[in-house]
Amino acid sequence: MLRVDPDRLRADFDALAAIGGTAAGGVNRPTFGDAHLAARAWFLERAAAAGLEAHVDAAGNHSAVLPAAAAGAPTLLLGSHLDSVLDGGRFDGGLGVVAALEALRTVQDARLELPVALEAIDFTDEEGTLVGLLGSWAVTGALSPEVLRAPRGGRDALLAGLARVGLAEERLADARREPGSLAGYLELHIEQGPVLERKGVEIGIVTGIVGSRSFRIRFAGAAAHAGTTPMDVRRDAGLGAAAFVVGVRELVVRAYPGAVATVGNIRLEPGGFNVVPGLAHLALEFRSPDAAQLDALEAALVALAHGLADAHGLEVEIEPVGRWEPTSLDPAVRAAIERAAGALGLSTLELPSGAGHDAQALAAVTPSGMIFVPSRGGVSHRPDEYTAWEDCVNGANVLLGAALELGSSECPFQQ
């Protein structure tokens, strides 16, 4: 049974982690910064050193390609991303890219002739320094002009970033691939949550990527003197906000299994020791793998906010901020991952991904799957993000095994 070379994988992983490496042990590689560009250049050098074809598309996605035996064969994509959040960890994204590269080298070394091309791909700006999923949306043809007009990192930063690397906004769409040219997409990634570690499971098979919705909520009461205003005549916006935070958790835990909801920020005005707050601003986000559950949860949360506003003599305004639909990952790909893990004697668990990934873009156009390996303490987007090296190697071998099964036929999903 074919396995990756763990030493070669480790050497790549360590070399990559040193690019933009921070004193705290993480990496700082925001999109199109010096460290990010250095990591991408290193990736193409490693591909060339292995005798693979190197390629950069109109959205800046970087690829190493192992061609198929026959011309015109479809391509099985294996990938992730080399950009990081500010002061992030070394495993998020980077592990998936070096494992994809190692899978190609392993197939090449074994002189296997597959009916598909294998492509290790580093997608541009997954984390959203500029847009979020920029490269993967471009590949699927779903990068909308609306998103580019008001990107997450700001319009100026996007234009400056594209100019810095010689990309043209009007040509980003040229990165689109014909769905018929793709045989599928596989991504190895750290879980970024605590579930696998807590359950003692080695491999996570991702069932889908949760949808999320976010809202700004504003409770308005009346600012008042904290000494002279009796409790029974107050219209305390901070109290309404606090009751909402408590109620959100109670609601989700009681009636929405598998969903999560978070009030990540609260700001009170005027915000002094001796003034009853007149205004409270909250940041609410909730996620679920199920669109119907998201709808029901949204309705319940809106009703909760209005009910608490009424109960506390407040006004409430609810403003939608963001919305991502849930994505299901392909059952046949999940089954291939399950078999690959089983052949290696690894325990598995099906679970949704609570975080966004390039796979949610690819899933719209080609059969896609994700492999998770455990995150210590569930920590991610921090320098102390950590996955045991044995788990990394396990993940790379499952990626290789699933790719070999899916790549053993030109049309693995039509058998």
Enclosing H/E stretch for 261:
strand 260-269
Residue showing tokens 């000494």: 227
CB of 381 to a second copy, least distance (A): 7
Q: How far is the CB of 358 from a second copy (least distance, A)?
A: 15
SS3 209: strand
Q: Which of 227, 345, 414, 415 binds a second copy (CB under 8 A)?
A: 227
Residue 39 as a binder of a second copy (CB under 8 A): the answer is: no
Site string for a second copy, 312-331 (x = CB under 8 A): ---------xx---------
Tell me 378's DSSP state.
Answer: G
Q: Closest Cα partner for 268 from 237, 222, 227? A: 237
Q: With binding defined as CB under 8 A, does residue 264 bind a second copy?
A: yes
Q: How far is CA 253 from CA 80, 205, 257, 292, 379, in A?
A: 33, 24, 7, 17, 22
Least distance (Å) between residue 248 CB and a second copy: 9
Bond into 367 cis (ω within 30): no
168 CB contacts (<8 Å, ≥6 apart)? Answer: 58, 162
Stretch of 12-20, 169-177, 241-249, 341-349 lying at the interface with a second copy (CB under 8 A): 241-249
Per-residue contact string for residues 347-366; x = within reach of a second copy by CB under 8 A: ------xxxx----------
Which of 173, 260, 344, 364 touches a second copy (CB under 8 A)? 260
How many residues lie near a second copy (CB under 8 A)? 61
Other beta carbons within 10 Å of 303:
11
Question: Closest distance between a second copy and the C-beta of residue 264, in Å?
Answer: 5
Among 93, 80, 161, 85, residue whose Cα is nearest residue 123:
80
Note whether 387 binds a second copy by CB under 8 A: no
Binding part of the chain for a second copy, among 32-40, 223-231, 326-334, 405-413 by CB under 8 A, reads: 223-231
Q: Please say whether the beta carbons of 76 and 183 come within 8 A.
A: yes
User: Residue 65: beta bridge partners?
Assistant: 53, 119
| 321 vs 238: CA distance, rounded Å | 21
CB 17 within 8 A of CB 39: no
Q: Can residue 95 be called a binding residue for a second copy (CB under 8 A)?
A: no
What's the token pair of residue 237? 């916006």
Burial of 69 (0-12, 13-18, 19+ CB in 10 A): exposed
Q: How far is the CB of 301 from a second copy (least distance, A)?
A: 14
200 near a second copy, judged by CB under 8 A: no
Q: Which is nearer to a second copy, 177 or 287 (CB)?
A: 287
Q: Which stretch binds a second copy (CB under 8 A): 73-81, 94-102, 282-290, 332-340?
A: 282-290
- Is there binding between residue 199 and a second copy (CB under 8 A)? no
Residues that bind a second copy (CB under 8 A): 191-195, 198, 210, 212, 214, 224-233, 236, 238-239, 241-246, 249, 252-253, 260-268, 271-277, 283-285, 287, 321-322, 353-356, 378-381
